[in-house]
A and B are shown apart, each in its own frame.
Chain A
Amino acid sequence: MIDFIQMIISGIAVGSSYALMALAMVLIYKASEVPNFAQGEMALLPVFIAFMIIYSYGYSVFAAFFGALVFALVLGCCLEFAIVRRAKNSNVLGLIIITIGLEMILLGFVSWKFGADERVMPSFPISSYDSVMFGDFYITTIDLLTLIVALVIMISLFLFFRFSKFGVAMKATQQNETAARLMGIRTNRVKMVTWGISGTVGSVAGLLIAPVIMDPYMMWDPMLKGFAGAVVGGMTSLPGAVFGAYIVGIVEHLFGGYVSMDFKAVVAFAVIVIVLCVKPSGLFARHYVKKV
C-alpha cells in the first residue's frame, strides 16, 4: 500500500510538468487549431537563454528566469506573427508541418549555439534531489515546487479567462473567430498573444526541469507526455488537459511499478488510443454535434 500511494504521489509530481506542457499546447490549439509540435522547443530556447544569462553574464537565477519568461512571451508572439499567420489558407496538416519545421529549427539552433553536453541550471536555489518526507512518503522539493507553480498557473489562467477583458476576448476568438472579429475584437492580436502566453507557460515547465537536467532533448519527453495528456483530457479543454496530464503521470508510474517497466515510457500512448476509441474528443472536451 505504501508503494501504491508513493506511486500516486510520484505520478502527480511528474504529471505537473506534463500539465504545464499540456496547458501550453491546448492554449495554442484553441487559438490556431493546430497541435503545436514546437511547444517543447519553444520552452527549450528560453531555458538556454536563462542559462546564458546566468553563466555568461553572471545575473541571478531570478533575473535570468524573468528574462527567459519575457523572451518566451516575445518568441511565441513572433512565431505566430512572422510564420504561422503568414501561412495563408493553410489546412491543419500544413500548420502541423510548420510547427514540426519550427521545432527542428529551434532544436538545431540550441544544439548549435549551446552544444549537446549534459548540464544543469546553475545557481538554482533548491537542490534537485532534496526531498520532503511525509511519514513513509517523499516528494522532492523541486517536484513540490513544480506542483505548486502548476497549480498557481492553472488558477491564474482560470481567473484570466474568466474575469479579464483580454481573457474573455481570447475565449471569444477561440469559440468563433468570425463572430469575435465582427464584435470588434482584434483576433490576430489575440492569437499572437495566445502564442506568447502558451510559450511562457511551457517555459515555466522547462525552467523547472532544467535544475535536474539540461540538454537539447530535455523537453522531448515532457512535450510528448503533455500532448498525450492534452489529447486524453480533450484538446479544447484547459481543465481537461491538466486532468489528462496527471492521469498520464499516474498511469505511467502504476504501470511501471506493477506491470512492466519495459513499456512504461509508451503506456501514455496506449492510454490515448483507449480514450480516443471510447471518447474521440477526449474526456473533458465538449463534442459539438451539428443538427441538420
Chain B
Amino acid sequence: MKKVLLSALLSAAFVFGIFSPGFCEVGITDTEIHIGQWSPQTGPAAAWGAVARGTDAYFKWINANGGIHGRKIVHHYFDDAYNPARTIAGVKQLQERTGIFAWVGGVGTAPGLAVKDYLMAKDVIWVGPAAGSRNWLTPPHKNLFNVYPLYLGDAQLLNEYAINELGKKKIAVVYQEDDYGEQGLEGTKFTLKKYNMEPVAAIPVALGDSDMRPHAMRLRRSDADAVLLFVTPIAASRIIGTGKAMNYNPQWMSTTTCADCPLMMDITQGLYADVITANFGMRDDSEQVGDSQHINNPKMELMQTYKTEVFDRYAARDERWGYTFSLGIALAEPLVEAIRNAGPDLTHEKVIKELENLENFKGMLGRISYGPFDPEDPLTRIGQQSIFLHQCTEDGGSVILTDWIETEYIPMGE
C-alpha cells in the first residue's frame, strides 16, 4: 500500500513539477502573470505616480481583451513615496511573498538603485526603469532592460541644436542636485568640450527649494543666451517665470522630464511657449520636421487607441491624459511584446530571449532594440538611443524641430 502511495506521489510530483513549466517559474500560473511596479503616489514626487497608473490601465485593457495567451496580468503596484527605504521594503515583500515574474517601470533613480542589486541577485526581469539614468547600464545586467533614453543624450542633442541651429554662444545649465541633474550637466560638458566651449554657468537646484530668484539672477549675470534646465517641472516653471519677471529671456531648453507641453503651459501660465525640449516618443512615422503635435489629438494611431481604449475606459475619473500617464503604457510595451512573443509556455529565459530579439520595436516611443547579453556592452541593454526635439506652442501642442537623432552613449568617467 505504501509503495502504491509513494508511486502515486512521485508520479504527481513528476507530472506537475517537471512537465508543468509554470510550477517552477516565479510569478506565473496557468492563468496569471504577476508583474510588479513601484511609484510615488504620495510625497513630493507624487505627480510621477501617473506612470504606474498608466501601466495599470494598460494591463487592465490587455486583460479585458483576453490577456496574453489566456493568462491575465496581475499588476501589483505600491506607493513608495519616492523613498528608497520604502521601495526596498515593498519590492522584497512582493517578490518574496507574492512572487513577481517581472518588474516594469519603477519611478526614480534613487528608488531604482536601491533595489537594482536585489532584483538582479534574484534573477528577476526588470524592464523600463522610469528614469534616464546611466546607472541601469553601468554595468549592464542580463535581466535589466532600459527603455527610457538617457539624460546624457538629451544634453547632447539640446546643446548641439543650440550651437549649430540657433547659433548660441553662451550656454548655461541649471541642474537638480541628483543623478538626473548631474548627468545633464555631464552631458552638457561632454558636448560643449567638442566645440571648445564650457557652460557659462552651472547652477545647482536643491531638491525642495521653492525659491528660484537667486538662480534666475545668476543666470542673468552669466548673460547666457541659452539655458538648459535639468530640473523638475515646478522648478523649471519658476525659473522661466522669474526670468521673465526680470526681463531675462534666453532660449530655454529642457529634457524629456519637462516635455509635457500642456502641463508646462498650464503651470507657467503660458510662458512655456517656444521652450525647446527633448522628446522620446508619441510621434507618428508620418510626422516630419515642422509638423505640429498635440497630445490631446495625437496623429499616432496607436496613441489614439490608447487614449480612447485605455485612458477613457480604465483611468480614474480625475486622471489627466498626459505624457506621464502615457509613459506608463510605453514603458510596459516591450515587456508585453516579449511575453506575447514567448508564447503560451512562458518562462523567464524565453522572455529574456524575446526581449533580446526586439529590434527596432515600435510602440509609443522611438525604436527600441536590444541584443544578446554582453557584460562589456551596455548597448545590448540600452533600448532606445534616438530622441528628437520639439518646441512647445501657445495651444499646449508642439512643433517638431528635428528628425530622430541617435545620441552617443557616454561611458562613466569620460
Interface residues of A, Cβ cutoff 8 Å to B: 3, 6-7, 10, 13-14, 108, 111, 115-120, 127-131, 133, 138, 140, 212-213, 215-218, 220-222, 252-253, 256-257, 261-266
Q: How far is the CA of A10 from the CA of B218 in the complex (A)?
A: 13
With A10-B217, A118-B234, A221-B210 as contacts: A130 and B42 at CB distance below 8 Å: no
Q: Looking across the interface, which residue of chain A has its beta carbon closest to that of B45? A: A116
Cβ-defined contact, A129 with B234, below 8 A: no
Residues of A within 8 A of B269 (CB): 120, 127-129
With A129-B269, A266-B206 as contacts: A257 and B177 at CB distance below 8 Å: no
Inter-chain residue pair count (beta carbon < 8 A): 105
Main secondary structure of the interface of A (DSSP, over half): mixed
With A129-B269, A265-B206 as contacts: A221 and B211 at CB distance below 8 Å: yes
Selected from A3, A111, A216, A265, the residue in CB contact (under 8 A) with B209 is A265
Give 27 pairs: A residue, B residue, CB < 8 Å, sorted on A.
A6-B217, A117-B47, A118-B47, A119-B266, A120-B266, A129-B269, A129-B271, A131-B244, A131-B245, A138-B247, A140-B245, A212-B238, A213-B237, A213-B238, A215-B46, A215-B234, A216-B46, A221-B209, A222-B210, A256-B214, A256-B218, A257-B214, A257-B218, A261-B206, A263-B206, A264-B209, A264-B214
Q: How far is the CA of A6 from the CA of B46 in the complex (A)?
A: 34
Q: How far is the CA of A138 from the CA of B41 in the complex (A)?
A: 38
> In the complex, how many angstroms separate the beta carbon of B200 from the nearest chain A beta carbon?
15
With A129-B242, A261-B215 as contacts: A213 and B206 at CB distance below 8 Å: no
Q: How far is the CA of A172 from the CA of B266 in the complex (A)?
A: 48
Residue interface mask B15-54, A partner, CB < 8 A = 1:
0000000000000000000000000011110110110000
Q: Looking across the interface, which residue of chain A has its beta carbon closest to that of B202? A: A261
Residues of B within 8 A of A127 (CB): 269
Residues of B within 8 A of A130 (CB): 245
Cβ-defined contact, A14 with B49, below 8 A: no
Q: How far is the CA of A164 from the CA of B171 in the complex (A)?
A: 58
Cβ-defined contact, A119 with B267, below 8 A: yes
Residue interface mask B162-179, A partner, CB < 8 A = 1:
000000000000000100
Q: How far is the CA of A129 from the CA of B214 in the complex (A)?
A: 15
> In the complex, how many angstroms separate the beta carbon of A71 from the nearest chain B beta carbon?
21
Residues of A within 8 A of B213 (CB): 10, 13-14, 253
Q: Looking across the interface, which residue of chain A has its beta carbon closest to that of B210? A: A221
